[in-house]
Structure 1
């Protein structure tokens, strides 16, 4: 229904009047309830069926833009607010060679990359080159400042303190330094992490996920530091090798928390 209403809304728009459409799909979030048309369609699992339903919803939006003659004048952003809810090595998918979190550690709710690293696809015909990529670290909070920059409307004082204009990254422009000084992460049960450049510091043991602590977690180091350039799967905790990085990032996170 929400997709049908969105398509209907698009068909009502004209080229001379800007519009904004926010479409928060319920798929593939829990509860896993693919509609009848998609049940069993993937041949893998109800979750995979639900992902196919998501694909179809996105396709319907693009078809509506094409039919309305609005495709060339519309920015489309597709992203998510968290990683997959499936556990690592989910057997119904693993036997078919699929891993929802790819090479990343963890899932939704975890402090590790599998919980926070999400798809971010943008189409802006004639402005953003097709197939282009950026290595800039961005956050969904950056959409506010970035959209404000696109339309040339500065944010009012006190608005979007955590939002950074990442338009240069979208346009493929090179900068002398990262657009974001750092990015703060937070797990389901309260673990904080901070990322700056290649470094990611987690102030706690384990994943900070929705389930109970795993046996033996009390024996793990209370600090985790990962070099994401060398260890994107976060398998090698190097906190004891770089105490100066741990100290610097810890102080930076405290300053950010103080506001």
Structure 2
């Protein structure tokens, strides 16, 4: 048989046709893939920084003295919320609100935070964000700082450890056998997998608990430290091989392991990653030394940004980024004291806001919040809608098509329409209640913020507080720094907001359709 002879022109035309056909097929496959993605339930990753301020991140504060390239990229790929608030101005109550969708002041914790040996704040029967997503078919995990109490085995029947009460300080841990399996852990609250430390990284015991069991045997006494500023931890029990300076990277490694494992399963996953940074002790790795112009605190924020980047790169490498909803936020404002401001005057950790972590003022609870979900959220979006971290539960319920029990998530409002539609959508939240470390209340409604007391309600001093003014009222639209108390000029507004605050406290819920 005679072979067909092609001219050079015919060969070129055939090659071009092949290329065009391949491109059309690839484009069609990509379109089909995108269509399929839109119909899928997203993976969900919630990264909760510990004590990171609104002004620490470059994309929220261009004058920040800290490099945060990974968080800036995440914000650029999604939407920034400029009026997001933690449920409290300190650790434990904010975490309670995020997990339960309920303000923590409705729990037995009325002020302060839990200790390392405190009893569980969340009852086993209370509906949680992990319960919701597990019911929706998710593989659920928590990796990081828990700080909501654990059910330690109690050899001496010490009654002080069997209740949550911060009035007389924290339980000492006397009589607690920390090498025994826990009687209650995150696994009792809807999490399929847990790898946590009990409290902040400056509060003992310093032990990793994996699925309710200590990750290793052997206990030693870890000496405390309190120098230089920010390098602080209390002495106490620790696992033999526990290294405080390695904890942050340990959690990021475990998070990557979970993501890699989850990618092999044919079900969506939920990862709650509460980091230990940049809370004290400030211990940035050597590679981040002098990366910022805000001292070792700034370097530790840079280290935190790097850890976030590692999670993002892991998702990218697994091809999961497009259909993963990534939330980044903080549990409260930065621990940035007047002395820190004097040493580093060009850095505003809490941006222009008054106060700091612990306070009822904006610096205590006005936090950065980023949401990225490439298959759904357009890039470079900004919204000024008011949201609270308690709102995550209702939002995830809407995204996954789940119904919340009437007696659950009492203070959770759905803001999924902002993610699905655009930055101009409304969240449905008409007001938000704030709570300080000392138990002071405030309520924000529209442009007005009413504070039911004098001073900061926290660590900051208020030189302007007088016995004549028993409360505070600020117009945040004109005075975001809360510098002018208008309670005398607008007594009717103050009275109306106080009545609404009392009503929300007494009712026990704020969510439409909810009940106590």
Q: Scaled by the length of structure 2, what TM-score is found?
A: 0.47
What residue is the counterpart of 2:327 in the other structure? 77
Deviation at 1:137, TM superposition (A): 0.5
Gaps of 5+ in 2: 1-249, 508-516
Q: Which one has a larger percent strand, Structure 1 or Structure 2?
A: 2
Whether contact under 8 Å (1:205, 1:220) holds in the other structure is no
Q: Which residue number in structure 1 is paired with residue 364 of structure 2?
A: 115
Aligned to 1:195: 444
Greater mean deviation of Cα atoms: 10-19 or 149-158 = 10-19
Q: 1:147 aligns with which of 376, 396, 399?
A: 396
CA positional deviation for 1:202: 0.3
Deviation for aligned residue 1:206: 0.9
- Work out whether residues 206 and 220 of structure 1, in 8 Å CA contact, stay in contact via their aligned partners in 2: no
Show the counterpart of 1:225. 473
Q: CA deviation at 1:216?
A: 6.5
CA distance in 2: counterparts of 1:178 and 1:44, whole angstroms: 35
Aligned equivalents of 2:489, 2:410: Cα separation in 1: 34
Give me the whole-angstrom Cα distance separating, in 2, the residues matched to 1:196 and 1:170. Answer: 22
Aligned equivalents of 2:411 and 2:356: distance in 1?
24
In the alignment, structure 1 residue 99 sits paired with structure 2 residue 348: yes
Q: Which moved more, 1:180-189 or 1:63-72?
A: 180-189
- For residue 499 of structure 2, what is the aligned residue in structure 1? 251
Matched residue, 1:156: 405
SS of the residue 1:190 aligns to: coil
Greater RCO, CA 8 A, separation 6+: 2
- Paired residue for 2:490? 242
Structure 1 stretches of 4+ moved >6 Å: none
Q: How far does residue 179 in structure 1 lie from its aligned partner after superposition?
A: 1.1
Per-residue deviation, 1:220: 5.9
Does the residue aligned with 1:255 lie in a helix, a strand or coil? helix
> 5+ unaligned residues in a row in structure 1: which ranges?
none
Distance 1:146 1:71, change over 3 A: same
For residues 215 and 135 of structure 1, the distance between their equivalents in structure 2, rounded to whole angstroms, comes to 31
Q: Which residue of 2 aligns with 1:30?
A: 280
3-state SS of the aligned residue for 2:386?
Answer: coil
> CA separation in 1, counterparts of 2:386 and 2:463?
33
Q: Does 2:308 align with 1:58? A: yes
For 1:13, the equivalent position in structure 2 comes to: 262
> Aligned Cα RMSD in Å?
1.9
Looking at structure 2, the residues matched to 243 and 253 of structure 1 have their Cα atoms a distance apart, in angstroms, of 15
Query: In 1, are the aligned partners of 2:456 and 2:462 still within 8 Å (CA)?
Result: no
